[in-house]
Amino acid sequence: MTFEEACSYIDETPKFTKKHSLDHTRECLRRLGNPEKAFSVIHVAGTNGKGSVCAFLDSVLRTAGYRTGLFTSPHLVDIRERFMVAGEMISEEEFLAAFEKVLELSLEMEKEGEGHPTYFEMLFLMGMLIFKDKGAEIVVLETGLGGRLDATTAVPNPLVCVITSVSLDHVQYLGNTVEQIAAEKAGIIVPGVPVVYDANDPKAAEVISNIASRAGSRSVPVKVSDTIVKKKSRAGIDFSLNNDYYDKNTLFHIPFIADYQVMNAALAVRTLEVMTGCGQISVSREDVIGGIANTSWPGRMETVLPGVILDGAHNEDGIRKFAETAEYFTGDFSISLLFGAVNDKDYPDMIGLIAGKIRPESVVTTQIGGAREVPAAELAEVFRKKGCTVVTAEPDPKKAFRLALQKKPEDGLLFCVGSLYLVGIIKGIIHS
C-alpha cells in the first residue's frame, strides 16, 4: 500500500465505524504491545489553546535536550503533522509502517466483532507506535474532542494533566453548559497526578478544582491576572509572570501577536514549573525562556507572507480572542479579511464579533468543509447585515485567497480566519 492509499483508507473510516469505549482502545494498545509504556506523557485537554500549549511545552522540552513526541490535531496540510518527533515530521515510510500494524489489528478486531477503530483512534494508535519506535522520551499528548471518553485517556499515569480554556463548543457531544463541558475535559484527571488549568472562567474552574480535589490531585490554577504584558509589536509579545517561582523581572517573549497566546504560554510555563518541582524533568530557567521564544505553531496568528496572517479560530470564543488581537492593530493598519466557516459553528455570531470589533475595510468570503460548508454568498450576506459594506463572495478558496491578496493595501494586514480547513488550504497554496 502506498502513502496516498493509506491516507485514503484512514479518511474513509468515518463511513464504516463509530467511536468505541476506552476499554476497546486499551485492548488495541495491549495487542500492539503497549507501546505507550515506552515513554512519559503530558496530557492536554481544553476547548481552545490546547494545541498552542502543546507546542510551547514541546519546544521547551526540546530546548532542554529531551527527545519529544508531539501528538496534535487536526493537521493543516499533511497528515504526518500529527506525529512530530524531536520537532520533525516522520517519513512516509515510517507512517506506513505504523499504519500497516494498526490496519492489521483493526481488521482483526472487526473480524472478531469488536469493531474497527475510528479515524482518530487509528491515528492515536499509530502515534503510540511511532513515538515508541522513534525513541521519544516525553510525549505531549493532545486530546481529540473531549477528555473523559477520548481515546488518548487510555494512556495511564501521565506526568501531569493540563486543561486549557473551556467554552461552549461541540455542545452536541459534550454538553450544553460550560460546567458540563469542563467536566468532560476534566475527565483526563488521574488520581494523584498534578493538574494545571486555565482558571479564568470561574464556573469551569470550580468544576475542574472539585474533580481534582476528589481525585486527590494537586491543582494549579492559572489566570490572565498572573501575567504582566510588557510590550506588544508585530514581532510578538513580551510578558512576565507574577508568582513566587518567576519574579517580575524574568521576561518571556512569544513570537505571536495574539494576546491569548500569553495565557497559553503561561499555562506551559507553570506546567514545566510543576514538573521540575516534582523532579520529573530537569529544565533550567534559560531553557524555558528560550523554548517559549522559539515556539512555532502553524496557523495560529501565523504570519505567512508580509502582512498576511492566518488564524485557526473556529468557534465563538476563538473568534472573540482573534477580534481582540486584530482590534489592537486597527489604529495603525488597514484591515482586510478572508473568512470561511462550517455549518456546525455559530457563524452569524462569529461574524458579528468580527464586524463589531474591527470593521474590516474589505471582506472576501469563501466556502470550505465539504458536506459542512456554508455557501460563500450566505456568509457575505451576514457580513453585510452586520455593517460591512465591501464584501465579495468567492466559493473557490484558492481564488478567494488570491482575490483577498489583491484587495489588501500594500501596507495593510490581511487576516484569514474562521476555520482550520481554510488555514490548511492557504498553507497548501503557499507551499506549492
**242/307 same-domain check:** no
**165/185 same-domain check:** yes
**100/64 same-domain check:** yes
**210/335 same-domain check:** no
Q: What's the gap between Cα 138 and its chain centre?
A: 18
Which contiguous run of DSSP H or E holds residue 141?
Answer: strand 138-142
Residue where one domain finishes, among candidates 273, 293, 313: 293
DSSP-assigned states of every residue in 211-258: HHHHTT--EEEE-GGGEEEEEEETTEEEEEE-SSSS-TT--EEES---
Pairwise CA distance, residues 407 & 63, whole Å: 41
**12/59 same-domain check:** yes
Q: How many domains does the chain divide into?
A: 2
Q: Using the predicted structure, report yes or no on whether residue 342 has a pLDDT greater than 90.
A: no
Residue 268: phi and psi, rounded to 5, are -65, -45
Which candidate, 67, 61, 27, 19, places its Cα nearest to that of 44?
61
Please give the average per-residue pLDDT across 251-274, as a whole number. 94
Q: Which domain holds residue 369?
A: 302-431
Q: What is the CATH number of the domain that holds 357?
A: 3.90.190.20
Residue 208, helix vs strand vs coil: helix
Residue where one domain finishes, among candidates 293, 323, 356: 293
**33/67 same-domain check:** yes
Cβ burial, residue 118 (10 Å; 0-12/13-18/19+):
buried
- Per the prediction, the chain carries an average pLDDT of 92
Pairwise CA distance, residues 242 & 226, whole Å: 5
The answer to whether 339 and 353 are in contact (CB under 8 A) is: no
Q: What is the CATH number of the domain that holds 135?
A: 3.40.1190.10
Which candidate, 432, 357, 409, places its Cα nearest to that of 417?
357
Give pLDDT tens digits for 93-145. Answer: 999 999 999 999 999 999 999 999 999 999 999 999 999 999 999 999 999 87
**Facing residues of 231 across strands?**
238
Pairwise CA distance, residues 143 & 134, whole Å: 21
The answer to whether 357 and 386 are in contact (CB under 8 A) is: no
**264/306 same-domain check:** no
Give pLDDT tens digits for 373-428. Answer: 899 999 999 999 999 999 999 999 999 999 999 999 888 999 999 888 888 899 88
Task: Return the residue matching grid coordinates 470550580.
Answer: 206
Strands (E), 285-390: 302-305, 308-310, 335-339, 362-365
pLDDT at position 331 is 79
Give pLDDT tens digits for 165-216. Answer: 988 654 444 557 889 899 999 999 999 999 999 999 999 999 999 999 999 9
**128/262 same-domain check:** yes
Cell of 44: 492536554
pLDDT at position 169 is 57
Cβ burial, residue 330 (10 Å; 0-12/13-18/19+):
middle
Residue where one domain finishes, among candidates 237, 263, 293: 293
- Residue 7 gets the label, from left (phi > 0), alpha (psi -120 to 50) or beta, of alpha
Report the DSSP pairing between strands 236-241 and 227-233.
Answer: antiparallel
